[in-house]
Structure 1
């Protein structure tokens, strides 16, 4: 860290899907005009953002993450590792879906984001945990996690959201999905997709549930009982229209503790691959984010 760290540190992931160096410069220039000093760092390897966030100088009061939801997850992991008195988190969206930025209603303009940072208004972000690992959006098992595992980084950088759509289509037609067994507060549910979410949005500005948001406490479990192509098409259409809970194959409930199991199932966390685990999914700590 620099000896005299600026109060605002911008850390960007240069391999994020929509990384834009000019946006970093525009953010820094606008902050400077508003009388706020900032430093800009670029990450060099996966996981570095967590280390940076954990080891920040106490003089850094705002950490701006230039990246996608996976980069944000890294930063949150580091902030939680600090214990208390962490910086407020802000987001310059460079990712593919940018779900948390949509969830918080953050501007995608660097200049407008700088003005939000200067205003200094924060709101609590209610995290979840799977085992000891925090998440800001969701952890899931089943078909959607299969898609995440099927999309590698070069393919995602080249095609963006289309990469997920294409892999989803090929997996749906292949019919290789597996049953997911969910234990939710002592009740057993069998389904093909199970999502534990702290947030209202999923996959972008698409409402997976109407009953929570990331700035409110509580977890929701959303399950889809069937992953046949016709059902998935109906679910995708309903998700786009904000009507997912109207499908007979969908259940949406409040939960306090969830575990996933099932032969050969895959899992994902905040849009990134997660090694399959039967660790409990629970409500987690709270951090402050720029609103």
Structure 2
């Protein structure tokens, strides 16, 4: 499942799917990427900006149709998710050039935000197959959530994120800690459903949240499974205890249960906010998540470990 560096270097056609809203100097970024590719002996890439109507899906389909071997996702988590949704199930590789606030896939896999380093990974690194999570017709690479986490994301203004970065999410979270929990039924594969009064349910392909918080430290992006966290804090003291346990990487964290499954069905007693890879999607009373093992070909550094990418 892993190609050699020499095989990687023979694949020279590429495309850049870029979110102009996430890049302050668009012309400068284009010059940097083209220069780094030229230094590696690769031709100038297709340049495919996203739009408010299309966050990158159509652009990625165009790149695949034009026969590229690598698609650079240059933007935030939404751009990466759009590219991954179209690349899943193909042999076209995804290379991540982080430019947004969260950049969760890059955080989890230790991918550099430096343009030259990111291009070097695509042109001289290796290819790895990782899993993707699936919700409806959308794929995600990091995490899906229902409840508090999605409410927090929806309540965080873009202006605040641009000004202070990921701590903006913490600021928004503080104002929602006392919201009432949801009653949920969770079915894991074919097991009997479990019922909880939860604040949020998170389904992870990898385990780190914004700021590198290790919520699911055992989660791996290439194990063919999804890791599930059910958070049940009710008071501020509960939240503090939960946060302390997560940050200390304790095996048993108060007010949090973890599970593992290939299919996760979450049903709430009322409509809830929902999110995929940090992007809020339409609210709903249910969230069904499945895994596609090894569906996405990802560019990783030459010295990346053979397993345990998360």
CA displacement, residues 8-61 of structure 1 (integer Å, 9 cap, x when unaligned): 111211212x65533443232111111012323322324241111122234211
Q: For the structure 1 residues 64 and 141, does the alpha-carbon distance in structure 2 shift closer, same or farther, using more than 3 Å as the test?
A: same
Match of residue 54, structure 1, among 43, 58, 61 = 61
- Which residue number in structure 1 is paired with residue 17 of structure 2? 11
CA displacement, residues 218-239 of structure 1 (integer Å, 9 cap, x when unaligned): 1011111114222223333333
- Which residue number in structure 2 is paired with residue 264 of structure 1? 271
Aligned partners of 1:144, 1:199: CA distance in 2, in Å? 16
Query: Cα RMSD (Å) of the superposition?
Result: 2.1
Query: Are the counterparts in 1 of residues 37 and 43 from structure 2 also a CA contact under 8 Å?
Result: yes
CA displacement, residues 229-261 of structure 1 (integer Å, 9 cap, x when unaligned): 222233333333433x43221111112322222
Match of residue 166, structure 1, among 167, 171, 184 = 171
Matched, 1:108 2:113: yes
CA displacement, residues 122-144 of structure 1 (integer Å, 9 cap, x when unaligned): 11120011233211111111211
Q: For the structure 1 residues 242 and 152, does the alpha-carbon distance in structure 2 shift closer, same or farther, using more than 3 Å as the test?
A: same
- Which residue number in structure 2 is paired with residue 65 of structure 1? 73
- Which residue number in structure 1 is paired with residue 186 of structure 2? 183
Query: Are the counterparts in 2 of residues 52 and 78 from structure 1 also a CA contact under 8 Å?
Result: no
Q: Secondary structure at the match of 1:171?
A: coil
- Which residue number in structure 1 is paired with residue 5 of structure 2? none
Aligned partners of 2:29, 2:223: CA distance in 1, in Å? 30
Please, which runs of 5 or more residues in structure 2 have no aligned partner?
1-11, 301-310
- Which residue number in structure 1 is paired with residue 236 of structure 2? 229
- TM-score, normalised to structure 1's length? 0.87
Please, which runs of 5 or more residues in structure 1 have no aligned partner?
1-5
- Which residue number in structure 2 is paired with residue 136 of structure 1? 141
Aligned residue pairs, count: 279
CA displacement, residues 194-225 of structure 1 (integer Å, 9 cap, x when unaligned): 10111122224222112222233210111111
Aligned partners of 2:166, 2:132: CA distance in 1, in Å? 25
Matched, 1:249 2:255: yes
Q: CA deviation at 1:147?
A: 0.2
Q: Secondary structure at the match of 1:77?
A: helix
CA displacement, residues 36-92 of structure 1 (integer Å, 9 cap, x when unaligned): 123233223242411111222342110001111111111122224xxx545200111
- TM-score, normalised to structure 2's length? 0.82
Aligned partners of 2:124, 2:248: CA distance in 1, in Å? 34
**Bigger CA drift: 21-30 or 34-43?**
21-30
Aligned partners of 1:75, 1:227: CA distance in 2, in Å? 38
CA displacement, residues 158-217 of structure 1 (integer Å, 9 cap, x when unaligned): 332232111111112xx2233140312232231222101111222242221122222332
Aligned partners of 1:176, 1:208: CA distance in 2, in Å? 21
